[in-house]
Amino acid sequence: MKAFILAAGKGTRMRPLTVNTPKPLLPVGGKPIIQHLIDYIEDKVDEIIILIGWKGEKIKEAVKSEEATIKFTRQEELLGTADAIGHAEEFIDDRFICMNSDIIIPKKSLHDFVDFFADKDTSTVGMAEVEDPESYGVLITEGEKITKIKEKPKKPESNLVNAGLYGFTTDIFEAIEKTEKSPRGEYEITDSLQILIERSSLKGFEMSEEWYELSRPWDLLQTNRELMDQTLEKKLEGEVEDNVHIEGKVHVSKGAVIREGAYLKGPIYIGEGAKIGPNCYIRPASYIGKDCKVGNASEVKNSIVMEGTQVPHHNYIGDSVIGKDCNFGSGTKVANLRLDEKEISVIHHEQRIKTGRRKLGIIMGDDVKTGINSMFDPGTIIWQKSFIGPGTIAKGEIGPESKIQ
């Protein structure tokens, strides 16, 4: 059996984090999102085909598999999910597994799904139960059989939704050919699935474990924490100086240095070439990327800090996602909790959005610089290449290449 992974999109809802980086390569739990999918499926298939598009070369360079052959195909024009899945036809002559690249499904659930599909003679959809089904494709079922699909209904008839995991027979390609453009101007896979329901049959498989959909930047934080709790192992491959305190599951990659006085409380992932300390505090569920620095009197808590970013002295970062090659001036502080402790909303793409989080610091794009003693309100979003001047209090949404003083 083969697997087909959809990774061609631009990830616009994840911006500013995806301005330079494809969404499937954003890190959670110590590795890119798409690498989790590959690692979990590779021993169930003999070939993995990845559909790439925007900045696809970065995906080709980053992913690997020890068990399966990886091939790539390209979607030049983004015409919808059904069109994307249609690109699999040239590689497929039998049933296959298909997955979105912005989800993470625990290995056991994924394997159970593959085994379930292998015993069926019809296409199958992975289903997850959610609290807000009106934001998804809602599935109506009778036993194992899916009888109806409704895309983002105002009054959902079910809490079961399309989880972005499919087992397809080759009948899907005929259904895609007969799929017409939706009002959004795209070929929607939900329309193709409805054709399968009407012409033959479609089965549903409800997953027994947690399902993670990574849609907005703050979604990375909860998933990162849970994956670290579940999968991270203590491994000290780098240099650890004397008088360093390491507690719990801490992964220190090759070439990283943990200097004297550093206090690390896992789960924590430290990337290659990172410099940690002296005299800093890294708290649970923190990812520190390749060639980053967390220096003297700095503290990082429950955050993702991507490659090349410098947090060198007297800084605090909590419940935040920080892009690549940022630099924090001395004394920069991130607030992550409202004084009234209510849910934090953000301004994202000029729209106010509820995050569902009581604690959220900042979402920062690549190449941002902050001056000394600058501060950020909870839920601030800073786009790439911005400059936050000394002593400034930043809030709301700060656009690309802005200068706030």
> Which residues are marked as active site?
313
3-class secondary structure per residue, the chain: CEEEEEECCCCHHHCCCCCCCCHHHCEECCEEHHHHHHHHHCCCCCEEEEEECCCHHHHHHHCCCCCCEEEEEECCCCCCHHHHHHCCHHHCCCCEEEEECCEECCHHHHHHHHHHHHCCCCCEEEEEECCCHHHCEEEEEECCEEEEEEECCCCCCCCEEEEEEEEECCHHHHHHHCCCCCCCCCCCHHHHHHHHHHHCCCEEEECCCCCEECCCCCHHHHHHHHHHHHHCCCEECCEECCCCEEECCEEECCCCEECCCCEEECCEEECCCCEECCCCEECCCEEECCCCEECCCCEEECCEECCCCEECCCCEEECCEECCCCEECCCCEECCECCCCCCEEEEECCEEEEEEECECCEEECCCCEECCCCEECCCEEECCCCEECCCCEECCEECCCCEEC
Q: Classify burial at 57, counting beta carbons within 10 Å of its beta carbon; exposed 0-12, middle 13-18, buried 19 or more.
A: exposed
Amino acid at 215: S
Q: At what angle do helices 107-118 and 33-41 cross, to 10 degrees?
A: 50
143 contact partners, CB below 8 Å, separation of at least 6: none
Instruction: Report which of 200, 206, 138 is spatially closest to residue 170, judged by C-alpha positions.
Output: 200
Q: Give the integer Cα–Cα distance in Å for 230 and 326.
A: 29
